[in-house]
Amino acid sequence: MKQVAFDDLAKLPVVEYYETAFRKATGVSLKVVPPDDHGKQLSFGASENPFCALVSHTPAGCEACRQEEGRVRRSAARKLTPQQIHCFAGLTIVAVPVAIGGRHVATLLSGHVLRREPTQRDFTMVVKMLNGAPNSDWEKRARRAYFETPVVAAERFQAIVELLNVFAQYLADYASRCAIARSSEEPAVVVSAKEFVHSHVEEPVTLAQVAQHVHVSPFYFCKLFKKATGMTLTEYVARVRVEKAKTLLVDPSLRISEVVYAAGFGSIPSFNSMFKRYVGMPPTQYRATLRSPLAM
């Protein structure tokens, strides 16, 4: 099956849009980063916290920032759950993994905020940890930036993490839908086959039916479909059904058994197994994530 990679996500227009909208709405920076390269220091560009930008350009600060960001990203990758740490300067950094079918594809890196009002003593200690300020002008700019760093109270911070969770889930869902989307760049036979599957997803769909519909032999169709989509017809049908099930699970009035048959699955065990395989969690857990007040 064709797997979604970080580069596929990074090209989506919604990523840049959300990074900008998130910063404007919360005052907090956000960057969608690869699941690996944990040892590489990241640049947030114009949205970077001014204090972090100043610190990262000092020898000691650059190494400390690289290690802290790498540590929280590794933790998110290992546990596949949101993680946060407090850096040496007292700022909180958050990493939220984007997982598709249990596979770590990207990380939302955010935070770089203070959780309480800073003091002059705090700033003095940070400067000492940096082996002293490079010069008086640097210290003056760093002090101003440090005391202008956003201070986020517990309730607001939790809301920020919830927003990051919502976007991580949206990105995973969006990427899954893109994997089964019909494209005009594909051979006409493949486009027609995909349209047939979408139109008959609630019914049993066989290779013979689809091959007959597109007027080619089953053998030729299998080779063409696999080459164009990276997955077999069976895998594609399962993905389409799972995506339909995800849409149906939004409605809390529908029982799981109703979702199973409305999405074209023949049994509840088969549905549970296939759903967990492609989504990375059981359908009941997925439905629970949709009930967050901020996900509505």
Residues whose CB is less than 8 angstroms from the CB of residue 119 and which lie 6 or more positions away in sequence, other chains included: none
The total domain count for the chain is 2
Packing angle, helices 207-214 and 188-199, rounded to 10: 130
**Residue 46 CA from chain centroid, whole number:** 22
The whole domain housing 46 covers 6-177
Provide the pLDDT for residue 119.
94
Is residue 30 included in any domain, yes or no? Answer: yes
Average pLDDT over all residues of the chain: 87
Report pLDDT for 212: 95
Q: Which of 24-28, 58-62, 203-207, 228-232 has the lowest average pLDDT?
A: 58-62
Mean pLDDT of the region 55-81:
86
**Last residue in a domain, options 125, 158, 177:** 177
**Strand bridging mode 29-33 / 83-86:** unpaired
> 176-204 burial, b for 16+ CB within 10 Å, e for fewer?
beebbeeeeebeebbbbbbebbeebbeee
- On the CB side of 202, how many CA atoms lie within 13 Å of its CA? 6
Closest CA to 225 of 187, 196, 176: 187
Q: Can you spell out the DSSP letters for 193-228?
A: HHHHHHHTTTS---HHHHHHHHTS-HHHHHHHHHHH
For residues 173-190, give the mean pLDDT: 81
On whether residue 1 sits in a domain, the answer given is: no
Same domain, 163 and 32: yes
Q: Stretch 180-207: mean pLDDT, rounded?
A: 88
pLDDT for 102-154, tens place per residue? 788 999 999 889 999 999 999 999 888 887 666 778 888 999 999 999 999 99
The per-residue pLDDT for range 58-68, each reduced to its tens digit, is 888 878 888 88
- Enclosing H/E stretch for 122: helix 120-129
Domain end marker among 146, 177, 208:
177
Clarify whether residues 144 and 39 are in a common domain: yes
Could you tell me if residue 133 is inside a domain?
A: yes
The model's pTM is: 0.75
80, 212: one domain: no
Do 211 and 269 lie in a common domain? yes
